[in-house]
A and B are shown apart, each in its own frame.
Chain A
């Protein structure tokens, strides 16, 4: 018999520790942190543009954006006159907590009410990495097909909020909203589901109110 060592620790222990350090910092700073995860093209940046337009004036916000290449997404947020920092992952399919720590040092956002982390467009890999956020939000757009939750159960089981985006396309594309909502509820009975359209503004009020409530709860 060869010697064995019993371990029982998380494989992503180093990330977990970095995420806990971030969580402690965000708690001290009383900043609500939301980690947005979706496939490419589900509308993360468009949702953020519409969200920030509604919250600006009331709350101090900033965005960390993860992408494999280009500053395009951060530029779109900066055009609104709001702070954004682009994390270029150089090929990696997800953000990890140490990248977020490094980006925050460089970005120098100052005191914030809400920090949005727009993850790399990918419905699988970002799921495994805790970024010290208060909660994950998964976006699923109506153009993606209505079998996604059961195909990618890990993210739908974890995200506290699921946003069905581009609902202005309801009736134009074949998408069974009720079936999708049933799948999400099966995977995550305590999660919340919101139907939104950044284009028409549908559901945006409820989404922004949800963020404000979460911030108030964190500061209570």
Chain B
């Protein structure tokens, strides 16, 4: 369970960005989490609630954009798949498939409030 460590890193960077923009409170943070990032979105949201208590991000929403990995046949192109279900070989030609994407673990956007300004 390293989601707490990950949530703390998100918080640290978000607070830096808040300070750079002269903001007072973090309202929403958007992150991208790939299927092969080894991070569980649900646990990350729980961790976010815990690590933000008592600071400028308390009560803010952590929006997790889940990015599935893609399986691609070098000849026939992308193969349709559901997250968690892995296709062993290309459904059309039987060739081994490549795995692309899904390793993202990115901070995407921070939405904040500036004191004295109406949201």
Q: Interface on A for B, CB 8 Å cutoff?
A: 1-15, 92-94, 96, 124-125, 127-128, 150, 153-155, 157-158, 182-183, 185-189
Contact = CB atoms under 8 A, between A and B. Distances in A.
Given A125-B1, A128-B2, A6 B86 contact: no
Closest 10 CB pairs of A and B: A125-B2, A127-B38, A154-B38, A4-B111, A154-B36, A2-B119, A7-B107, A5-B110, A157-B36, A128-B38
Nearest to B107: A7
A3 B21 contact: yes
Interface in B91-105: 96-99, 102-103, 105
A189 B97 contact: yes
Contacts, number: 107
Contact of A92 (B5, B9, B102): B5
Nearest to A156: B36
Contacts of A92: 2, 5
A1 to B, nearest CB: 7
B113 A2 contact: yes
B105 A7 contact: no
A190 B21 CA distance: 44
Contacts of A7: 13, 17, 106-110
A153 B81 CA distance: 15
A15 B8 CA distance: 13
A8 B32 CA distance: 9
26 contacts: A2-B119, A3-B21, A4-B109, A4-B112, A5-B21, A5-B110, A7-B110, A10-B107, A11-B10, A12-B6, A12-B105, A14-B9, A124-B2, A125-B2, A128-B2, A128-B38, A128-B39, A153-B69, A154-B36, A157-B99, A186-B86, A186-B87, A187-B86, A189-B97, A189-B98, A189-B99
